[in-house]
Amino acid sequence: MQHDKKTILLVGGGTGGHILPVWRIYNKLKTNSKLRVRIIGSRGNLEQAVFGGNPDFQAVVTGKLNRHFSIRNLWEFVLSFLGLFHSLFLISKSKPDLIFIKGGFVALPFVLWAKLLKIPYFVHESDTVMGRTNRFAATSANKVFVGFPKKYYDFIPDEKLIYSGEILDEKEKAEFDFGFNKPPAGGSKPTILVVGGSQGAKRINQTIFLMLDKILENYNLIHQVGYLGYADAINRRAELSDELRSSYFVADFLSLKNDIDLMVAALSSADIVVSRAGATAMAEIAQYKKPMILIPYRYAAGDHQDINAEALQRAGGAVMIRDKELSGEALLAKINSLLRDKDKTESMVQKASQYWPKNGLEIICDEILKEIK
């Protein structure tokens, strides 16, 4: 019966690293007839792209306070205050038996109410350095799932710390015609996938644009530029010769098209991936067994992307270029070097694929089911 169902709230938003894991847990749990699963996120564009139209999704009023003073912070404070009461309304309405916190500013009021109302909750942290919300949440969480080995989280009691790795779907493959022409001599060019996260990466985009002609002479390029970089990328593409333009596929965000997941198709077809060093992105690239060049975002909170990239590079699973050392010449030289050294790329792929547990989604869903029983 309906009233016998247990209710799970999945809370996370703002970036793909928070949104997509929540979506995967939702899809895994929603088939259980004894559960009522609800998603809470912000009102951002990416949430609408992933969750839009889903009756189990609720966008909450949120504010995000900047670390430096600005007039904008006054409005963000008002939104945060409203979000505190909106989140309480949603909790009162749904009466959750368990709240799962993925992180981000949208999750903070739910952590506060869970602590005050004694609602059991779990936390998942992807990166080597915990975000502020998750660090605060971890103190009273029933379980804390982490994306990197436990040594990076030694401030959390071991009895509630679980090394689950990332929250990924079972590996799939997809095919999509990105419009690349075959060279006159036959065969095909290697394919480079450049992805700066769900919001893009201005610094990486600018570096690619500076070397665009040279890259496209020898490679096909799939380029996720983010919402803010899309117009510029389309203009750059229009300026190319017909031959080079046919080697350049641009997207603001690699999402679904004609029921095909373009990110899955891009990862399936890529010979090498250039990416920021968010933990979810790194684990997905490793899952698809692709060599990766990591360019950590230098302003990431707690320098966590640098630490993420260094951890995987030390394990032999990636190479990194620090943001301050990034140039078009350095990036192209690294791409050329890796694609000429098959032994090195095979070793990188093997070590990266072994770095994370392969069943993080199952580990977390099993623990959720244990808790509510």
The pLDDT of 32-50, averaged and rounded, is 87
User: Of 348 and 173, which is predicted with more confidence?
Assistant: 348
Say how many C-beta atoms besides its own lie within 10 A of residue 185's C-beta. Answer: 5
Residue pLDDT, tens place only, 325-339:
999 999 999 999 999
Residue pLDDT, tens place only, 92-103:
999 999 999 998
Helices (H), the chain: 16-29, 45-51, 72-94, 108-117, 132-138, 202-210, 212-218, 230-238, 242-245, 262-269, 279-287, 304-314, 328-340, 342-355, 360-372
Query: Which sign does the torsion angle of CA 234, 236, 237, 242 carry?
Result: positive
Q: Is the pLDDT of residue 67 over 60?
A: no
User: Of 171 and 264, which is predicted with more confidence?
Assistant: 264
CATH of 2-165+357-372, one of 3.40.50.2000, 3.40.309.10, 1.10.10.10, 3.30.360.10: 3.40.50.2000
Query: Residue 20: its pLDDT value, please?
Result: 87
Q: Is the pLDDT of residue 363 over 50?
A: yes
- Mean pLDDT taken over the chain: 90
What's the topology of domain 191-355? Answer: Rossmann fold (3.40.50)
Query: Residue 63: its pLDDT value, please?
Result: 66
| Percent of the chain residues topping a pLDDT of 70 | 93
Confidence class for position 187, pLDDT limits 50, 70, 90: low
144-183 CB burial, b ≥16 within 10 A, e <16:
bbbbbeeebbeebeeeebbbbbbbbbeeeeeebebebeee
> Which residues lie below 8 Å from residue 133, measured CB to CB, with a gap of 6+?
101, 103, 104, 105, 107, 108, 111
Residue pLDDT, tens place only, 290-331:
999 999 998 888 899 999 999 999 999 999 999 999 999 999
**Domain range annotation of the chain:** 2-165+357-372, 191-355
Confidence class for position 53, pLDDT limits 50, 70, 90: confident
Q: Is the pLDDT of residue 77 over 80?
A: no
CA distance 330 to 320: 11
Residue pLDDT, tens place only, 110-125:
999 999 999 999 999 9
CA distance 218 to 208: 14
Q: Is the pLDDT of residue 84 over 70?
A: yes
CA distance 20 to 38: 14
The pLDDT of 12-36, averaged and rounded, is 90
Q: Is the pLDDT of residue 29 over 50?
A: yes
Confidence class for position 352, pLDDT limits 50, 70, 90: very high
The pLDDT of 185-208, averaged and rounded, is 84
The pLDDT of 188-200, averaged and rounded, is 83
Query: Residue 69: its pLDDT value, please?
Result: 60
Same fold, 2-165+357-372 and 191-355: yes
Confidence class for position 186, pLDDT limits 50, 70, 90: low
Confidence class for position 173, pLDDT limits 50, 70, 90: confident
Q: By the 8 A CB rule, do 372 and 8 touch?
A: yes
Record the pTM: 0.85
The pLDDT of 2-24, averaged and rounded, is 86
* CA angle at 114 for the pair 67 and 34, rounded to the nearest 5°: 130
Q: Is the pLDDT of residue 1 over 50?
A: no
The pLDDT of 194-200, averaged and rounded, is 75
Q: Is the pLDDT of residue 3 over 70?
A: no
